[in-house]
Structure 1
Amino acid sequence: MAAEITIVQTVWDRVSGAAMDAIAHCFARRETRASAAEMIAGLLAEVDTRNCWTLAQALGHSGPHRLQHLLSRARFDHDRAGQEIARLVVREFAGQDVVLVADGTGDAKSSTDCVGAGRQYSGALKGVGLCQVAVHLAAVTDTTRVVIDRTLYLPKDWAADEERREAAGAPEEIMFATKPQQAVAMVAGALESGVRARWFAADEVYSGRELRTNIRWFGLGYAVGVSHTHVVSDGAGRRWQARHMINKVLSRQWMRMRAGHGTKGTREYGWAWLEVRADDTPDGHQDHGVSVLVARRHRYTGELSFFRCFTPGDVTLAQLVDVIGRRWRIEETFQLGKAFTGLDEGQVTCWNSWMRWSLSCFRVATDGVTAVEAQRTRHPCR
């Protein structure tokens, strides 16, 4: 055990140092870079809550002013820093089967003065509340899940309020965009940065035709959740709601398969699929590929969930189940980010502060790479 801890610490030091070296040019001053390194160390410290006051105390500072300056006013190209850390992580995925997963998470707020804060739905809050919502993009492999990009969602009324935007320092070029549009932009950025992905996965929020068409334009397959009332067309062109279409499946066609591991053990469900007509072929593309509706049935309650899937080539039901199962892993990343780096605890109100605090999610990404590297070190023959 002591040997494994030593290996992990050694790998952690190497990867953490590589990350700081990769973003060194993003800081105008050495002092700012040093403050950033201190803040990252503070985020991983054992403190009850994480904000500039508690981190400053843990780091031995006389007050929070140095960290507050780093977040809000220091000359620091946080956008480029995020891109560089993402590239560092991407290089570790060479040769692996990558699924890009988009999902949002919300953080409760006490005032609409916080950038992007408003009354909106958040799964983390289990309903509608005053919160900020951010859309994240994760790269998920068989062994690793890491966040490689994120963007803050600005509600339409908030994005159109010039006074509120000016007070929070929201850049002029950042306008209202739907969450699916934000996800498409991040997928495009990931592919441009060198991610070699084959699939995109997401929940029902990201199942619209516009997004699916864009994903096909990128040359990716997709597996996205859809509602029971989602309309599909069968081979004869007849239109069905998903809950009615699945009645065509015979009892012997349901297959029991594993879809990953949860906190209470292995997730196993009944699965079935039916071919449907594609409705999202990009202009100028030929309508080739496999388009199916996949149903998941709970083994005990019989509850059904539905997924619309497409792949440019041949695919098996087992492969689609694997892609669908990987979508859940981004939620594990959110839990890690909030539990270990205080992703949801930053008391930030302006655009720069949110962007810089949220870089802590890339700290979790680096942790993921560290775990993979440590595993390779312990088992070099794998």
Structure 2
Amino acid sequence: MRTDPDTVAAKITVAHEHWPIRFEELMDRIADCFPRRETRMTCRNMIEAILTVQETANCWTLAESIGHRGPHVLQHFLSRARWNDDSVRDRVAAWAVGELGDTGVVLVVDETGDEKSSTDAVGASRQYSGSLGGVGLCQVAVHLSYATAAGHTLIDRRLFLPSGWAADEERRELAGVPEEVMFASKPQLAVDMLARLHAGGVTEAWVAADEVYGGRETRTAIRDLAYRYVVAVKTDHRVTVPAGTFTVTDLVKGLPVRSWQRLRTGSGTKGDRNYDWAVIDVLADDTPDGHPAGNSTLLVRRHRYTGTLSFYRCWSDAPHPLQELVGVVCRRWRIEEDFQAAKGLTGLDQGQVTGWTSWHRWSLMSMVAYALLAVTASLERGDTTQTGEVELVPVSCRELVKLLRGFALPRPRQDIDPEHALRWSLWRRRHQYRAATCHRRWNEATAASIT
């Protein structure tokens, strides 16, 4: 008897069947964070709409997809409605942690920027952003990703408020920045998220980050939480060994050839990616009071062909093999995958919100939608791996969204109700006309006052 591989593949591609169970489970977990049924239903509808719309996700497009007559319900939900977004964030994080498990946990911190056209958006200023490729007008937020052998997802975020914004009382009041919020550096925001997760029960994990978070104060705070770390450092970073204190660049010059070991760090379309690695024992410079010194090392990565070097400070309570340290470095890139998927699939950078509360609530709804995708995809990958009956690449979040739109998510209202689509077309054109008229009058008034 012959087995049709297409039939087998169809049977094991059941990610969309997991969706209703996971969705209802998470909605039940966060239900009492919403004191009113209306806000609870708006949350459900908004998460589904974020995954349904195929154009830019904002209050206009989401409201049209849900079936609202205007964006006012969603705008109220994001800016003024009474519900506990901090509690929603913590419960969603706990749910994701439970679903993804605790095997090989790596907590990854990194920041990403969202380009803006005006400084009216809270925290927007001319600042560096890697996602923009340089300095530009943008908002920057520090995110925390939870990565295990099963999968990974974003679980927390903090908006970076530049010092100019933090000191400007008028802009703070207009954007609704709480009085207790003061300037905090990106490493301080990262430590705050790690401390909150630690208090929530995740007490054993590696922390991975780039060189922005490689300062002594940050590493000391990570150790104070009893986390291990592998953190990138700059080429002029100084370390101490029994022979003295050297920059990491100078220290690696004395390594014998036998110290290097070639390891596979992943695979791409052109084959495996291999780098040369070396580990050097160094003296810890970040031991908190009352803590043991532990095992402090410098991990060095060398490109096979260009010879380019990258450096990582590592600490753990006991020695760990080179392969495990390299694995933590490789898993650090999971947060880049999270950024790409959350921006492309759940509108993380598309909210078009300007206030403090609305920014945090929009990013939270995006993260909830992405966490549902990531967890459901991880279940599908596990099912596919266990069957071994057909050759398939693991399901991606993007492929999962396509399945959900076809099988599980409600269809956009405008696709099934032509009158609804027409009403929204008229609403958009009327609103855009009024906005253009107001802008023109404002420009004429300001020009007249100048002359």
TM-score with structure 1 setting the length: 0.95
Once superposed, what is the RMSD of the aligned Cα atoms?
1.7
**Is this contact kept in 1: 2:279–2:322, CA < 8 A?**
yes
**Is this contact kept in 1: 2:264–2:273, CA < 8 A?**
yes
Partner SS state of residue 106, structure 1? strand
Q: 1:304 aligns with which of 287, 290, 309?
A: 309
- Whole-angstrom CA distance in 2 between matches of 1:306 and 1:333: 24
Deviation at 1:215, TM superposition (A): 1.1
Which one is further off, 262-271 or 95-104? 262-271
Matched, 1:361 2:352: no
Residue of structure 2 equivalent to 1:267: 273
- Whole-angstrom CA distance in 2 between matches of 1:366 and 1:294: 35
Q: 1:121 aligns with which of 128, 139, 142?
A: 128
Task: Describe the shift of the 1:304–1:235 C-alpha distance in structure 2 as closer, same or farther (beyond 3 A).
Answer: same
Task: Describe the shift of the 1:266–1:194 C-alpha distance in structure 2 as closer, same or farther (beyond 3 A).
Answer: farther
Residue of structure 2 equivalent to 1:2: 10
Matched, 1:141 2:176: no
Residue of structure 2 equivalent to 1:230: 237
Identity of aligned residues (%): 52
Q: Which amino acid aligns with 2:322?
A: L
- Whole-angstrom CA distance in 2 between matches of 1:197 and 1:259: 24
- Whole-angstrom CA distance in 2 between matches of 1:277 and 1:168: 46
**Is this contact kept in 2: 1:90–1:194, CA < 8 A?**
no
Q: Which amino acid aligns with 1:341?
A: T
**Is this contact kept in 1: 2:47–2:368, CA < 8 A?**
no
Task: Describe the shift of the 1:264–1:348 C-alpha distance in structure 2 as closer, same or farther (beyond 3 A).
Answer: farther
- Whole-angstrom CA distance in 2 between matches of 1:331 and 1:87: 22
Residue of structure 2 equivalent to 1:99: 106
Q: Which amino acid aligns with 2:116?
A: K
Residue of structure 1 equivalent to 2:330: 325
Task: Describe the shift of the 1:263–1:31 C-alpha distance in structure 2 as closer, same or farther (beyond 3 A).
Answer: farther
**Is this contact kept in 2: 1:139–1:145, CA < 8 A?**
yes
- Whole-angstrom CA distance in 2 between matches of 1:322 and 1:364: 24
Task: Describe the shift of the 1:46–1:267 C-alpha distance in structure 2 as closer, same or farther (beyond 3 A).
Answer: farther
Structure 2 gap ranges (5+):
1-8, 389-451
* Structure richer in helix, relative to its length: 2
TM-score with structure 2 setting the length: 0.81
Q: 2:353 aligns with which of 348, 360, 381?
A: 348
**Is this contact kept in 2: 1:294–1:306, CA < 8 A?**
yes
1:1-382 correspondence runs (5 A): 1-5=9-13, 7-236=14-243, 238-261=244-267, 266-287=272-293, 289-359=294-364, 360-377=366-383
**Is this contact kept in 1: 2:100–2:375, CA < 8 A?**
no
Say how many residue pairs are matched: 379
- Whole-angstrom CA distance in 1 between matches of 2:150 and 2:264: 16
Deviation at 1:267, TM superposition (A): 2.9
Structure 1 gap ranges (5+):
none
**Is this contact kept in 2: 1:56–1:64, CA < 8 A?**
yes
Q: Which structure: larger Rg?
A: 2
